[in-house]
Structure formats: C-alpha cells, structure tokens
Amino acid sequence: GAVVSQHPSRVICKSGTSVKIECRSLDFQATTMFWYRQFPKQSLMLMATSNEGSKATYEQGVEKDKFLINHASLTLSTLTVTSAHPEDSSFYICSAMARTSGNEQFFGPGTRLTVL
C-alpha cells in the first residue's frame, strides 16, 4: 500500500514553455500533498503544501504565479512550471500524506526537469 505515482519521470523542454507534473496517490486518499524541489546532493526543499479543494500554501521565496499547483481530487495534485527557464531545471518530488496518527508522507518517484 501507500503508493504514489508521478508523471512524467523525465521532461526536457525549451525555455519559455510550460510543463505540468502530475502526482497521484494510487491506493489511498490524500487530502494533503506536498511538492519538493531537490538540487544535486542537497536536501529536499519544500515548495508548497497542496490541499484538496483549496489554494496551495507556498513557502517563502517560491513564486505562486510560476509554480501553479492544483489539487483537484483526493488522489491528484498537479504542479505546472510556467514559462520555464534553465534555472528551473531540477528534480521535483511530490509526497502524499497518509491519514494516520503520524501523518506519514509517501513520496512519488520524482520528475527530472531539464529546461534548455
């Protein structure tokens, strides 16, 4: 149980285009999902908290208009990187929080974004 999928796993795009990343909890419902960004050999940096049916909560320094998050259902959250630039190239990982006493988070496999 507790499987989270992420699509696509890799994407290469041209500068100025938009890229959508999907995060799905496959066998449980997740009212809360999280989006992280990770640079090589560094820790996970929380970008935003996504709640089903409401606006996402963004971390300080993360541009809301650039990283659009939509949590349309209890099993799906999407992150859209708008007008992507090379500095947006990174490993993006989502996680879904299980409704348990400990609020365990289960991570998707990640999406490697490369902006040319």
Partner 1 sequence: QQPVQSPQAVILREGEDAVINCSSSKALYSVHWYRQKHGEAPVFLMILLKGGEQKGHEKISASFNEKKQQSSLYLTASQLSYSGTYFCGTPRGSQGNLIFGKGTKLSVKP
Q: Which residues bind partner 1 (CB under 8 A)?
A: 2, 6, 32, 34, 42-44, 46, 49, 51, 57, 93, 97, 101-110
Residue 82 or 110 having the CB closest to partner 1: 110
**Burial of 33: CB neighbours in 10 Å, binned 0-12, 13-18, 19+:** buried
Chain-centroid distance of CA 80 in Å reads 9
Minimum gap (Å) between residue 92 Cβ and partner 1: 10
The full length of the chain comes to: 116
Residue 82 or 91 having the CB closest to partner 1: 91
What is the DSSP-derived secondary structure letter of residue 6?
Answer: E
Minimum gap (Å) between residue 83 Cβ and partner 1: 26
Residue 14 or 40 having the CB closest to partner 1: 40
Minimum gap (Å) between residue 110 Cβ and partner 1: 5
Residue 28 or 82 having the CB closest to partner 1: 28
